[in-house]
């Protein structure tokens, strides 16, 4: 099973209500995925430098000390805030310098995402608990994708939860299972893609990161994915300015898309869309197999 | 959720309204099943379905049920005798394993519409997703829009009419279903071939289109069916079946 949901605003009309609109969508997919849930929210973009979502299992972890350490050692200014076990750090140097420093000096800190816009929050437990834990309903932004997990292929852990981010601002949620992820993981590792888990979905995210690094557009990367990923999948993908949905050629994992002048929303099932404004008059359809659906902001 | 039973809110018009914002799917289905014991209310309206699964399943009585809004999986499954209309979109498995009666979807339907159905009449006014009529065993299906890939896979008996286009592998591993498609067919599945449209087929198609209330010219359709090379039915062995 698993449930996936996404909401992409085509204009800024609902930016202040993004979390409020999305929370019931995620909770509606509880029956498809009660093991864990997570979401990647895009917004509060940094102009210079990078934004990192960091995590430590100790809720009392001293993020202030970490921020001061980074400021001193990397000669940069750090703005940060904490949300449960997660802290979002904004720094005005490039991501790689901070990531390398953290990996060498603070191995107890997990880097959940890095980019200009993305923040990833996920946890084991029922979606409603996770929505409340992270105060999703108060969040603002331009787009958001989420996942409720019914674990099949790897353990019920926070690390095995979705979304997966393997590159700047890129994030993927997956309903299905991949059959060639082991070999593909080895190939991608040789190309320099870093993986945190043994999860098949992380390989899909890593594959897209690799393709984008090779110069593909999001559409081209997903078209290549249709050739190279074997298995069942409905994917929803977020980038800094983009949102995409794609299903494998068999398309046995469900998906429905709704579009209005204000937003594009996708979900595994229509139930998750019923609370959206104007859904009664939205264009609602089932995405076709092997067809890449992409929405991108040209000005941002 | 209200605990008031459906029966307590019978309207004086003789038409029963069930609002799923107030009552549960279990309340609805129990009330509809109660009509099997004694038919007291023949017409039903269901409000606020909001994509819920398993609405109006297993009906076994001559009821008219109108559902106003999109429904989730397996709506009207195992239907017998009832006439059910979904005024919205339908999720997977609409009218799955229907025996008789009718189901009409005013919007689009997801995968496996009319799967394994032995009889009855299914009309989808929008598009149907993949595997429409998979393993159908006697149902007649009319789709005003397109159907997705693998439609009519292993279809055994009945008819599938597609007024739009059909996706990949139409009629794969087909037995004896009559398939009529007006638009393009992306590809035919194993053992499915285009066949001659004889008068008897034009008559059958005309009757199906008329019954569905679809204004299309039967002569604009092509017929597809089984080449009968893949399965091993031999008339000499008929007594063994």
* A&B contacts, CB < 8 Å: 46
pLDDT at A198: 86
pLDDT at A151: 86
Under-70 pLDDT residues of chain A:
299-300
Contacts of B131 (CB under 8 A, 6+ apart): B111, B112, B115, B148, B149, B150, B151, B153
Q: Which of A271, A276, A279, A283 is best to mutate for the B interface (most B CBs within 10 A)?
A: A271
How many helices, marked H, and strands, marked E, lie in chain A?
7, 16
Q: Which stretches within chain B are classed as H helix?
A: 25-34, 199-212
By annotation, the residues of A acting in catalysis are 2
Determine whether the interchain pair A270/B149 forms a contact, defined as Cβ–Cβ distance below 8 Å: no
Contacts of A250 (CB under 8 A, 6+ apart): A232, A289
pLDDT above 60: residue B1: no
Beta strands in A62-221 (DSSP E): 78-83, 86-91, 110-115, 118-124, 143-149, 164-167, 170-178
Nearest to B21 by CA among B53, B50, B44: B50
> Which range among A152-156, B115-119, B237-241 shows the weakest confidence by mean pLDDT?
B237-241
pLDDT at A166: 84
Q: Which stretches within A29-133 are classed as H helix?
A: 63-74, 95-105, 127-133
Q: What is the mean pLDDT of residues B47-69?
A: 97
pTM of the model: 0.92
pLDDT above 50: residue B14: yes
Nearest beta carbon to residue A270 from set B89, B129, B149: B89
Determine whether the interchain pair B51/A289 forms a contact, defined as Cβ–Cβ distance below 8 Å: no
Top pLDDT among A124 and B8 is at: A124
Q: For chain B, what is the mean pLDDT?
A: 93
Nearest to B103 by CA among B111, B112, B94: B94
For B29-41, the pLDDT digits (tens) are 999 999 999 999 9
Determine whether the interchain pair A271/B167 forms a contact, defined as Cβ–Cβ distance below 8 Å: no
| Alpha-carbon distances of A204 from A5, A227, A243, A289, B37, rounded to whole Å | 17, 12, 16, 17, 54
Contacts of A214 (CB under 8 A, 6+ apart): none
pLDDT above 80: residue B234: no
Give the three-state DSSP class for B9: helix
Q: Which residues of B touch A274 (CB under 8 A)?
A: 50-51, 70
Chain B residues bordering chain A (beta-carbon distance below 8 Å): 50-52, 70, 72-73, 89, 91-92, 107-108, 110-111, 127, 129-130, 148-149, 167
Rounded to a whole number, what is the distance in Å from the CA of B110 to chain A's nearest CA?
Answer: 7
Whether residue B44 contacts residue B18, with contact meaning beta carbons closer than 8 Å, is answered with yes
Q: Which two tokens stand for residue A86?
A: 């997660």
């Amino acid at each position: 099973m698993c449930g996936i949901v996404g909401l992409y605003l085509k204009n800024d009309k609902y930016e202040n209500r993004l979390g409020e609109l999305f929370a019931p969508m995620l909770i509606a997919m509880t029956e498809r995925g009660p093991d864990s849930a997570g979401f990647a929210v895009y917004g509060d973009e940094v102009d210079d430098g990078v934004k990192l979502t960091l995590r430590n299992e100790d809720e009392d972890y001293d993020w202030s000390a970490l921020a001061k350490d980074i400021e001193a050692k990397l000669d940069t200014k750090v703005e940060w805030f904490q949300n449960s076990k997660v802290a979002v750090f904004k720094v005005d140097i490039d991501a790689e310098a901070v990531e390398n420093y953290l990996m060498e000096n603070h191995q107890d800190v997990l880097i959940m995402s890095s980019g200009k816009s993305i923040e990833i929050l996920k946890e084991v437990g029922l979606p409603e608990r996770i929505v409340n834990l992270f105060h999703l309903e108060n969040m603002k932004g331009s787009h958001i994708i989420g996942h409720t997990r019914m674990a099949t292929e790897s353990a019920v852990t926070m690390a095995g939860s979705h979304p997966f981010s393997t590159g700047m601002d890129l994030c993927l949620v997956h309903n299905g299972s991949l059959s060639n992820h082991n070999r593909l993981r080895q190939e991608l590792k040789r190309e320099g893609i870093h993986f945190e888990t043994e999860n098949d979905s992380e390989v899909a995210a890593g594959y897209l990161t690799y393709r984008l690094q090779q110069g593909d557009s999001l559409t081209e990367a997903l078209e290549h994915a249709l050739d190279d990923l074997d298995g069942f999948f409905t994917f929803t993908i977020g980038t800094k300015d983009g949102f995409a949905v794609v299903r494998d050629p068999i398309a046995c994992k469900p998906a429905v898309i709704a579009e209005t002048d204000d937003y594009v929303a996708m979900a595994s099932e229509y139930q998750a869309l019923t609370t959206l404004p104007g859904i009664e008059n939205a264009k609602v359809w089932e995405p076709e197999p092997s067809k890449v659906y992409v929405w991108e902001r040209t000005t941002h | 959720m209200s605990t008031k039973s459906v029966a307590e809110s019978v309207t004086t018009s003789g038409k029963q309204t069930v609002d799923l914002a107030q009552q549960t799917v279990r309340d609805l289905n129990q009330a509809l099943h109660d009509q099997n014991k004694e038919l007291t209310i023949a017409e039903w309206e269901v409000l606020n379905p909001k994509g819920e699964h398993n609405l109006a399943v297993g009906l076994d009585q001559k009821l008219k049920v109108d559902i106003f809004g999109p429904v989730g999986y397996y709506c009207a499954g195992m239907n017998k005798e009832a006439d059910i209309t979904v005024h919205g979109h339908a999720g997977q498995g609409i009218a799955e394993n229907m025996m008789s009666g009718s189901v009409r979807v005013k919007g689009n339907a997801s995968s496996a519409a009319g799967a394994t159905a032995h009889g009855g009449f299914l009309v989808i006014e929008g598009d149907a997703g993949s595997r429409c009529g998979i393993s159908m065993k006697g149902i007649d299906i009319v789709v005003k829009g397109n159907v997705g890939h693998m439609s009519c896979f292993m279809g055994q008996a009945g008819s599938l009419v597609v007024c739009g286009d059909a996706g990949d592998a139409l009629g794969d591993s087909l037995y004896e279903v009559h398939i009529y498609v007006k638009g393009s067919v992306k590809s035919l599945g194993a053992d499915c071939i285009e066949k001659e449209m004889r008068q008897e087929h034009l008559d059958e198609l005309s009757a199906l289109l008329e019954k569905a209330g679809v204004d299309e010219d039967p002569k604009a359709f092509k017929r597809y069916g089984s080449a009968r090379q893949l399965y091993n039915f031999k008339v000499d062995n008929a007594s063994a079946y």
